[in-house]
A = this chain, B = another copy of it.
Amino acid sequence: MGRLKILNSPTIRRMPSYLHKLLRMRFEGRTHVSSLELAEYMNIEWIVVRRDIALTGIKGQRRVGYEINELIEYIRDYIGWTNPMTATLIGAGALGTAILGYDDFARYGLQIESVFDCDSNKIGRELRGHEIYDVATIRTRLKANPPKIGILCVSNSTAQLVADQLIALGIKFIWNFASICLKVPDDVIVQREVLAGGLAMLCVKIKSRESETPLGLEE
């Protein structure tokens, strides 16, 4: 019996940043990297980087550091970014547009296959290579082959309604950018993205700086 795996959010949230840097280094012809170099790049403590990387299961070699190709694969495997993940995006507003345009997502295996909106001014128009479909057609368009992930970039007032429709289609994973918490059955997993969470982090750091209370190592 395996040990209960602890969801270590700060570590997991840092993984794409390591990956972004490592892919860049590989592109530049580099083959090895030290945890110290990654720590300097990320501007975090060296010991945090060491611990993060150790969680992926890779073994570093003294003096030469980590083999970049190998570390990329360990990180991808740790996050589960080894296979393509299909997704539908509901909400073609500014945030939905930003998500569609985020190049790294495709590189990480996220395949946004369809885009829906309820705004008649948007329906039928093209957005970054996708035709925007009427949100009323979600069921008919997706029922034969529902995607794995539903990405919700809709208003707070419609988020629950749209989530219910996705769940009815058998979609089990929802990435929710609305500010409300969704009510979902136990077998559905919601990852809620709170832009204000980053602002809260920044403001705690500002408050700490201005009150001259030093902050400890991020846990």
Contacts and interface: CB of A to CB of B under 8 A. Distances in A.
B189 A173 contact: no
B219 A8 contact: yes
A208 B13 contact: no
Contacts of A217: 6-7
A5 interface: yes
Contacts of A41: 181
Interface string A9-28: 11011111100110000000
Contacts of A10: 9-10
A216 B9 contact: no
A206 B4 contact: no
Interface stretch (A65-73, A118-126, A129-137, A191-199): A191-199
Number of copies: 2
A213 interface: yes
A202 interface: yes
A99 B36 CA distance: 34
A198 B15 CA distance: 11
A46 interface: no
A209 interface: yes
A97 interface: yes
Given A95-B98, A204-B79, A197 B6 contact: no
A205 interface: yes
A43 B174 CA distance: 14
Nearest to A149: B202
A84 B97 CA distance: 29
23 contacts: A4-B214, A5-B208, A5-B213, A5-B216, A6-B219, A7-B201, A7-B216, A10-B10, A20-B180, A20-B196, A41-B181, A43-B184, A79-B204, A80-B204, A95-B95, A95-B98, A98-B195, A104-B179, A105-B195, A105-B199, A149-B206, A191-B199, A191-B201
Given A108-B196, A191-B202, 11 more contacts: A2-B213, A5-B208, A7-B205, A9-B9, A12-B201, A16-B199, A94-B94, A97-B97, A105-B199, A175-B199, A189-B209
Top 4 A-B pairs, shortest CB-CB distance:
A80-B207, A13-B197, A16-B196, A191-B202
